[in-house]
A and B are shown apart, each in its own frame.
Chain A
Amino acid sequence: MIGTYWLLITPKLQTIKQRSRGKGSRTARQTLIGALGLLVGYGLYWGVTKLLEVLLRVEDLGRLLAFKVLSIGLVAMLGILLLSSLIAALSSFFLARDLPAIRSAPADWLAVYFARLTETLVSSSWMVLLLLIPLLIAYEQVFDGGIGFYAVSVLAFVPFFLIPAVVGSAITLLLVRVFPASRSRDILGFISIGAVGLLVLGLRLLRPERLVNPEASRELVDYLAVLRGPSSPWLSSQWTADAVVGYMDGAFEPFWLLLLWSTAAGLVVLGAALHSRMFPLCFTKAQEGADQRVRRHAGWRAYEALLSPLPLRRRELILKDTRTFFRDTTQWSQLILLAVLVVVYVYNIQVLPIRSNEALERWLVSIVFFLNLALSGFVLAAIAARFVFPSYSLEGQTLWLLDSSPVRTSTLMWSKFWIGAVPLTVLAVALAGITNVFLGVGIGLLILSLVTTAVLSLAFASQALAWGVFFPQFEAENAAQIPTSVGGLLFMLGAIGNLILVIVAQVAVLRGYVMSGFPGREARDPTGWELGIALVLTLALCGLTTLVPYRVASRRLDA
């Protein structure tokens, strides 16, 4: 059994090994991602350390609060682990391409179960583990846990990761019994993204920044203090927290480790038994396709009618792109996260304490106006990277149809550009309008911000499309992978450069207005001339950065 198990996981290990031996652009990308990961890890470590220091300052309750935060964090992690286990198990037990070969081979079923469980465990846990490490280091540092803390953590967290992987695999098995595998994947993907969105929104609406203000944080501290007892005694996250916290508190109880390991072992046995009984039937069921019948709703008919004035080929290309986008859950479900991030951003602007008529706040408003422009621009560039940059690559293996048809490349470019640019511009104008109304800027600056974000959107759409044409990723398995390529990185660098250029030009023209808000000077609004020149400069710059990439990419497609 053990020999078969190793044989089954060897291809995966070899794949990881091959990937780590990347050359050229892949090495550069891996180094960059590694550096970013370290940066995020350090940021998390720093943030948790500061939070713990703040909490420990609370009289009597400090330690309890710090442990409560760990306990709540572990519950959240357990939830994430369970959700990602469901998706990972669906992939490794039912959708992987090597499954027909494995199913047809005389491989021991238990070895297959353990091999696929290992795959599920690794792919669902690695990201959470990377987040957990800086968090645990922070706790160890603050509470002076020493080497024993790490030993207890390893013993506690192995079953902590294993339990949701086994439970997730079992739930997936039952889910596939009811729904076809492809439909289950869509449902789970949607639920996961929705859950992450809610988590981000919830965390933001808690307004954690109030913690640094003792007056305002009292309310939050009181709330946490109510939860003195174990918050969830039936969850393995609580047992893990109890084991680790007990060690930090000098009252370590091996019972919690015993409970964790015996539960994990028991669940593995139950999972294996369930697998042996149900897997053959569920695997067969998973091969069935869902009913994929498409009905034309009123919304679609209205959209088709809206596009009817367009020339036939352009209309068909846009309709095709819209249909394929909205029918792919992995594509549109990311819009939920995007919407959450936009809401959080707008909320952040709304709660900024700068709306006042005093001179000090006036200079803050003018600074925040440009900061808002920079951040909105960055958000737009990131959205263009995710949704516009992959649009040419996504034609991939179906490009033969367009290439063998009498459709001109200019028609293809036109449709790809506008299908990206229109939603991006609508979002940009809405974002600029709402945030600047919250900031209380004058009508002149409001118009300038609306025009700037609109033309920046056009420029970003054009640049994203052009970089996508020059660095196509026809072999990518899903659209979300495509922007992580070298082309995606170059686009982001170019777009940020474009943004900085526009902001520098505007600040240079409007410097009289910006300086006027400083203390000791008489505050004034920007003059019509200043706004006019800033507007013309922005239009000229963005016009250039829209047209040049568009032309260059068209020529590339013609070649």
Chain B
Amino acid sequence: MIVLEGLTKKYGDFTAVAGMDLEIPANCIFGLLGPNGAGKTTTLRMISGILRPDAGRVLLGGYDVHETPDSAKALLGFVPDRPFVYEKLTGAELLRFTAGLWGMSGPEVEARIDELLELWDLTPWKDQLIESYSHGMRQKLIISSALVHNPTVLVIDEPMVGLDPRSAWLFKDLLRSFVDKGGTALISTHTLELAENLADMLAVMHRGELVAVGTLLDLQRQAAAEGAGLEEIFLRLTRGATDENIERVLSR
């Protein structure tokens, strides 16, 4: 459902994403992991058509995101890493506006908006300006805006930021149901527990490259860490801080 071929992005001399190849099948939750600055957000922004790659291409449902954006983006729902939205719109207006961008309006959209706001306990805030929303409420609203037009592909950058435990549980349930009904979800996250429990497939990115791809078992093999948890695999693949580093910091 999501295909990346030789995807490359450079910022000046710095290569953020270096010739990435990846294929994510339908009906799959795919977790993209990596340390800060690994290139995850840049990858997700290229997949969503926000950034244009320097080389390579992205296919969504067989459509090239940059050559045939209308068809490719019609399938897409995107949640960015930071919940910036129009502060002077109400929650309902933002969802109506988003549906409009995907060419949808009318009573069906209104019913869908009510449904989504109800799901996230946002109904009392429906007609309040977004500037009065808390960080978590904005996150829930943006997840709703990614779902309002019934996408088949969800691309989500850091979904759990600001979500309370109940909303986090709800999100996981929602994502599983979305995939069970034929959707495909790509999530970039630092919450390893979420990735381990939820993702059907995983990839670890480091310095713009994929260093491991597959199921948890595949990752254990690739990291030469049989039986290890995702945290240990991640640290091995990305060479995390050593005990000596920590000791040095705390001894001062």
Contacts and interface: CB of A to CB of B under 8 A. Distances in A.
Interface string B122-137: 0000011101100000
A328 interface: yes
A554 to B, nearest CB: 15
B145 interface: yes
Which of A293, A327, A405, A407 has the most C-beta atoms of chain B within 10 angstroms of its own C-beta?
Answer: A405
Interface stretch (A116-124, A374-382, A394-402): A394-402
B137 to A, nearest CB: 11
B88 A327 contact: yes
Contact of A320 (B49, B97, B127): B97
B100 A292 contact: no
A403 B98 CA distance: 12
Interface residues of A, number: 32
B140 interface: no
Contacts of B96: 316
A323 B93 contact: yes
A289 B85 contact: no
Interface in B67-84: 69-71, 73-74, 76, 78, 80, 82, 84
A557 to B, nearest CB: 11
Given A313-B101, A316-B97, A406-B101, A400 B84 contact: yes
A408 interface: yes
B165 interface: no
A397 B101 contact: no
Contacts of B86: 320, 324, 398
Nearest to A402: B101
B220 to A, nearest CB: 34
A290 B71 CA distance: 42
A289 B50 contact: no
Given A406-B70, A408-B70, A289 B88 contact: no
A400 B50 contact: yes
B132 A404 contact: no
Contacts of A327: 88, 129
A315 B48 CA distance: 24
Interface string A524-559: 000000000000000000000000000000000001
Nearest to B72: A406
Contacts of B90: 294
A313 B97 CA distance: 8
B132 A406 contact: no
A404 B131 contact: no
Contacts of A404: 48-50, 73, 76, 78
Interface in A263-295: 289-295
Interface in A369-428: 396-408
B102 A293 contact: no
Contacts of A328: 88
A324 B88 contact: yes
B105 A401 contact: no
B11 to A, nearest CB: 16
A278 B85 CA distance: 35
Interface residues of B, number: 37
B82 A401 contact: no
A60 to B, nearest CB: 59
Contacts of B107: none
Contacts of B74: 406
Contacts of B70: 406, 408
B55 to A, nearest CB: 16
Given A294-B129, A327-B129, A403 B49 contact: yes
B132 A292 contact: yes
A151 interface: no
Contacts of A293: 127-128
A323 B103 contact: no
B132 A400 contact: no
B9 to A, nearest CB: 15
Nearest to A325: B88
A294 B127 contact: yes
A293 B89 CA distance: 10
A559 B49 CA distance: 12
A109 to B, nearest CB: 29
Contacts of B100: 312-313, 315-316
A341 to B, nearest CB: 26
A400 B78 contact: yes
A267 B188 CA distance: 56
Which of A295, A320, A400 has the most C-beta atoms of chain B within 10 angstroms of its own C-beta?
Answer: A400
A406 B102 contact: yes
Contacts of A295: 127
Interface string A173-210: 00000000010000000000000000000000000000
A71 to B, nearest CB: 43
B101 A292 contact: no
A397 B97 contact: no
A473 to B, nearest CB: 16
A423 B104 CA distance: 28
Which of B78, B89, B100 has the most C-beta atoms of chain A within 10 angstroms of its own C-beta?
Answer: B100
Interface string B34-52: 0000000000010011101
29 contacts: A292-B129, A294-B90, A294-B127, A294-B128, A312-B100, A313-B101, A316-B101, A320-B93, A323-B89, A324-B88, A327-B88, A328-B88, A397-B84, A400-B48, A400-B50, A401-B85, A401-B145, A403-B49, A403-B50, A404-B50, A404-B78, A405-B73, A405-B101, A405-B102, A406-B70, A406-B73, A406-B74, A406-B103, A407-B101
Interface of B: 45, 48-50, 52, 69-71, 73-74, 76, 78, 80, 82, 84-90, 93, 96-98, 100-105, 127-129, 131-132, 145
Q: Which 9 pairs show the lowest CB-CB distances between chains A and B?
A: A316-B100, A292-B129, A397-B84, A405-B101, A289-B132, A327-B88, A404-B78, A406-B73, A403-B50
